[in-house]
Chain A
Amino acid sequence: NAGVTQTPKFRVLKTGQSMTLLCAQDMNHEYMYWYRQDPGMGLRLIHYSVGEGTTAKGEVPDGYNVSRLKKQNFLLGLESAAPSQTSVYFCASRVIQVGNYGYTFGSGTRLTVV
């Protein structure tokens, strides 16, 4: 089915370890986003990309890096994981179309840092 696919779905990391979360979309969307969701905090934007090869910081970028080498993929990296990065991570994408600003979300990655 077309949509946004996130891998892995679950992961447990030890403090200081690194990992990369992969987001892939097959809808030819230009814009892609990484959010984190924490209880009582809603979704907060980590980084986003408005096209291949471009990325920008959101409201909570510290401790994360991203890359958009291919249009369909948006990678989120944690270089040195910390317990504060325990969260559920959601990727989203949307098409460039005036008047169409709805996002398509992935099903999330639940990350625990111990």
Chain B
Amino acid sequence: AQSVTQPDIHITVSEGASLELRCNYSYGATPYLFWYVQSPGQGLQLLLKYFSGDTLVQGIKGFEAEFKRSQSSFNLRKPSVHWSDAAEYFCAVYSMGGGSNYKLTFGKGTLLTVNP
């Protein structure tokens, strides 16, 4: 069965610093990968997605992620963090077959705190 691991439960960075949030997945076929962001009390907003092609994908709000098949990773990055980026971030993999058709499996999330 597919799974997603986000090793960091909580990360704190200073405003203006660079950011990398880690995501590792387990899936037997070609993965469809996503990053979502959730601000406090809000629903989930799609940041970016990877289906195929260029392994470096650009998203909204200045985020990017790189798919590395050899490492089963899909890490999220941002060169310079803004205070408004403080939120919880979820990595997810979409499964297509077996007993887990048509659904997203989420990691447990990484909470980002931004210090002024």
Contact = CB atoms under 8 A, between A and B. Distances in A.
A101 B32 contact: yes
Interface string B74-116: 0000000000000000100010000001111111110000000
A102 B103 contact: no
A50 B44 CA distance: 21
Interface in A58-91: 58, 90
Contacts of B49: 101-102
B51 A101 contact: yes
B28 interface: no
A93 B27 CA distance: 22
B67 interface: no
A41 B102 contact: no
Given A40-B108, A41-B108, A101-B94, A48 B103 contact: yes
A40 B107 contact: no
Contacts of A35: 106
A41 B90 CA distance: 11
Contacts of A43: 44, 90, 104, 106
A107 B104 CA distance: 17
B44 A105 contact: yes
B51 A99 contact: yes
B42 interface: yes
A102 B34 CA distance: 8
A42 to B, nearest CB: 4
Q: Which of B32, B43, B46, B49 is packed against the most chain A CB atoms within 10 Å?
A: B43
Nearest to A43: B106
B17 interface: no
Contacts of B94: 101
Interface of A: 31, 33, 35, 40-45, 48, 50, 58, 90, 92, 99, 101-103, 105-108
20 contacts: A41-B108, A42-B108, A42-B109, A43-B104, A44-B106, A45-B104, A48-B102, A48-B103, A90-B44, A92-B104, A99-B51, A101-B49, A101-B104, A103-B44, A103-B46, A105-B36, A106-B43, A107-B43, A108-B42, A108-B43
